[in-house]
Amino acid sequence: MAESRTRTYLGVPMYRPRVAFFEFSSCEGCQLQILNNESTLLDFLSLVEVVNFREAMTEQSEDYEIAFVEGSITRDDEIKRLKRIRKNAKTLVAMGSCACFGGVNQLKNRFRNPAGVKREVYGAHPVDSGPVRAVEDVVGVDLRIYGCPVSKDEVEKMVLHIAIGKSIVVPKYPVCMECKRNENICLFEFGEPCLGPVTRAGCDSWCPSNRAGCWGCRGPAEDVNLRQMIRIMEEHGFSEETITDRLECFGGFLSLMKPERGKGG
């Protein structure tokens, strides 16, 4: 009903968009993030009308305006389903590293003999699973929420901005900026590799603040100098394998890397 879709904020009517969440090849950890923080869940639900969310409800509807798509695309049936979602949604949001760049799933694209790997892993119970693609390799994407998993705050902020028609600003600067603001000692000082200088901020330097190097789950910051990043890591004595593993882990840097750095398998 129209009444249920309009709330007021400071006396101003606010439209409640119909929102749907969909998962493709993924661990569903990004969706879980949305449900995780009970302290803001009710506020979030008052902003939107959720009509599809398999982790949280049984009802399903094809009538939605914003589709949050989690996961990478690996099968023909997923392509068909994703195209249908794209057709239904006014705004399609790629949610998380898997959706944005293939995420950890795209590591399987390294293997040169996927059929042999499938035989090894699944034996007599083969599964239908092809090369990993990001959502935007299949359909147009309007917005991206980076991270593995995404931060619930960022998802809620994005939904609020869509609801009130405010522009959405994603940090373009690198994680190092947040790390310095948090007054951390640089992990390179402790002999730990870190992709903070080239990775998009927005996680409040979560890993370095917990004494772990950044693996680049939010993908590249704007105008990064990847060659220089690689040189710095080499100067600190990290092997080519260590550097490549880190840069390839979530798939965000693949388009910036030289093809010869990929290892195959």
Which positions lie near ligand SF4, rule CB under 6 A? 26-27, 29-30, 70-71, 96-98, 103-104, 147-149, 175-176, 179-180, 184, 186-188, 194, 196-197, 199, 203, 205-208, 214-218
Phi, psi torsion values for 38, nearest 5 degrees: -60, -25
Q: Which pair of structure tokens corresponds to residue 14?
A: 């606010």
Whole-number Å distance between alpha carbons of 88 and 82: 10
Contacts of 159 (CB under 8 A, 6+ apart): 17, 19, 44, 47, 48, 66
Q: Least distance from C-beta 29 to ligand SF4, angstroms?
A: 3
- 67 or 163: whose CB is closer to ligand SF4? 67
- 49 or 144: whose CB is closer to ligand SF4? 144
Give the CB-nearest residue to ligand SF4. Answer: 196
Q: Least distance from C-beta 207 to ligand SF4, angstroms?
A: 3
- 159 or 233: whose CB is closer to ligand SF4? 233
- 172 or 180: whose CB is closer to ligand SF4? 180
Q: Least distance from C-beta 241 to ligand SF4, angstroms?
A: 19
Phi, psi torsion values for 141, nearest 5 degrees: -120, 135
Q: What angle do CA 163, 31, 148 make, to 5 degrees?
A: 105
Q: Least distance from C-beta 169 to ligand SF4, angstroms?
A: 17
- 16 or 75: whose CB is closer to ligand SF4? 75
Whole-number Å distance between alpha carbons of 216 and 175: 9
Torsion of Cα atoms, 102 then 72 then 100 then 204, to 10°:
-80
Q: Least distance from C-beta 69 to ligand SF4, angstroms?
A: 10
